[in-house]
Amino acid sequence: MGGPVSRRRIATSIVIALVVIALAIAITSWLRGVVAHPGGDPGGRLVAKLAPVVRVVPGFQTGHVPWISFPCDSCEFPVTYAIKIEPRWDSCDGRAGTFGWDPVIIQIGFRWTGTTQALVKLLSRRLAARGWARGAAPSWADAADNAWVSPKARGTTEVLSLESPIENHEWIIFVQAKPLGRLVSGC
């Protein structure tokens, strides 16, 4: 009675059960990863709120903003560009207790042949018209010698930081917002 046909059925049933269990574990793990870390920038609301600030940068006041998709490993960046970078769940080299969301970032590249002081003065004037003021960047934001902070009434902390020119009068600005939820910490 317990011939090869019934053993084959039992073996097939066991294999199918193991595949179903493995699939259930994989789906549960994936869902736990998505649900266990609420925050970041749901629906891209924070990056959309930051995007108009690009207009204070020289060369971006009017016309088309040259947005580049992120990530873009094979791109050759033009001198003038803007990139929207959504936050991702991250850590400090995988160390326990450091997991959290990266800030929401817009990176802007542009050319400026004037002095640093003239650029800072121009940015200060344009940002002041939007309610921003020079000040120290919060600890989670990119540290820079020249930083401006958004008004508190906007609901989230936002920072614009001007980096020193890379080369050939090419500058980078980072506009950052604190993400919803827990920040990466302890790095």
For 80-139, how does the pLDDT look when each residue is reduced to its tens digit (9 = 90+)? 889 999 998 888 888 888 899 999 999 999 999 999 999 999 999 999 999 999 988 888
Instruction: Indicate the SS3 state at residue 54.
Output: helix
Kindly indicate the confidence band of residue 74, based on its pLDDT and cuts at 50, 70 and 90: low
Question: Which amino acid does the sequence have at 165?
Answer: P
Find the helix or strand (DSSP H, E) in which 119 lies.
helix 116-128
Q: Are 137 and 127 in contact (CB under 8 A)?
A: no
Q: Are 101 and 179 in contact (CB under 8 A)?
A: yes
Q: Quick one: pLDDT band at residue 31, thresholds 50, 70, 90?
A: very low
Q: Percent of the chain scored above 90 by pLDDT?
A: 36
**Residue located via tokens 């736990």:** 32
The three-state (H, E, C) secondary structure of 121-160, written as one string = HHHHHHHHCCCCEECCCCCCCCCCCEEEECCHHHCCCEEE
Domain locations in the chain as residue ranges:
1-36, 42-177
3-state secondary structure of 185: coil
| Mean pLDDT across the chain | 82
Q: Are 57 and 162 in contact (CB under 8 A)?
A: no
Residue-wise over 147-165: b if at least 16 C-beta within 10 A, else e? bbbbeeeeeebbbbbbeee
Residue 173, pLDDT above cutoff 70: yes
CB-based contact 73:67 (threshold 8 Å): no
Per-residue pLDDT at 29 exceeds 60: no
